[in-house]
Structure 1
């Protein structure tokens, strides 16, 4: 008889440690993004062309930031008679706005990049996929709109990672061989990457300068 093992579910302690590590990394990334934006140090490899991808979400994020900033003085006025309530809410409000600004700056300071070494596909401060030219089979335009779909799923080109912006992607990188990538949820092996670029023409033009 062949025995099959069932995957073990992570313990509560393991899930708590994972959540704490991810929260810490996100907090760190927010402050690094603020630093990079203020001192104009976008994370673009030397000689690479930067291609932004934030257009579909930037307006929504700015609206949320503005609304959150407006809430701070309103809540401060309401809670003014109770300092023990007022100050924690004030600190939380300022931290929340700062965090959202840093989140936005993560998109602005970490664009996609196409350079001599290969392609870097980004999604804010959390995801940075390094694809050397040696593992890239082809890059094609491939528009896809999918709602409520997992980031990784099996498709025509194998196990595909989709970094959607407002549920959309417009470019596809098909790989020569499976590649292991690091995601916030852990390491994954993929065969292709779908993603969004604000200017797909500029992206393809940059690719053609390095591969036929």
Structure 2
């Protein structure tokens, strides 16, 4: 446990650094590590309304709390910093989701979930691609070898592999996965492109 704690903290720190770096990409309209020869597929649309709604609630709370504690300068300053950090973190997660899309390269499928997940699947390991709408938690317990990357509590594509790939979570142990369920805004287009690319690689 003592050996895992520093590693977990390092991962969390790196995650937050990636989140805040995404602001720069978002403002300038750029995307993270997408080459001209790659195809990018977004996935952030289903969560946008929720994120912006939560941001609005956080801003209202910040204003309300600042008014209530205005007579205690130290408390006011501490809470203001924490509230502004929360607002920035929530917006940063959306920025990371927008600027870090799924990427189909000539030899791999790179699946991402904001700054939290970055999983590379070689095309020659893809056995099957299915377009299917699944809602998180609707199918019962998820097997250990299945990785779900829901957006708005849903996934729209399932990829089955011939060999496992290693998923490294922010907190917890690495695990081998042979099936990945994820969402893409243009799921049909990605499924078709991925089947063609996997067949060519195989």
Q: Same fold (TM over 0.5)?
A: yes
Q: Does 1:42 align with 2:28?
A: no
Residue among 44, 50, 61 paired with 1:60: 50
Instruction: Using structure 1 for the length normalisation, give the TM-score.
Output: 0.82
Please provide the CA RMSD for this pair: 2.3
Residues 44 and 111 in structure 1, CA contact (< 8 A), matched pair in contact too = no
Secondary structure at 2:168 match in 1: strand
- Structure 2 unaligned blocks of 5 or more: none
**Distance change (3 Å), C-alpha of 1:151 and 1:15:** farther
- Structure 1 unaligned blocks of 5 or more: 1-9
1:178-193 matches, within 5 Å, as: 178-184=164-170, 185-193=172-180
Structure 1 counterpart of 2:184: 197
Structure 2 Cα separation of the partners of residues 151 and 32 of structure 1 = 35
Residues 124 and 198 in structure 2, CA contact (< 8 A), matched pair in contact too = no
Worse-matched range after superposition: 180-189 or 104-113: 180-189
Q: Which has the higher helix share?
A: 2
Structure 2 Cα separation of the partners of residues 50 and 141 of structure 1 = 18
Instruction: Using structure 2 for the length normalisation, give the TM-score.
Output: 0.86
Residues 129 and 195 in structure 2, CA contact (< 8 A), matched pair in contact too = no
Structure 2 Cα separation of the partners of residues 149 and 110 of structure 1 = 28
Residues 164 and 178 in structure 2, CA contact (< 8 A), matched pair in contact too = yes
Q: Which is greater in Rg?
A: 1
Structure 2 Cα separation of the partners of residues 194 and 63 of structure 1 = 26
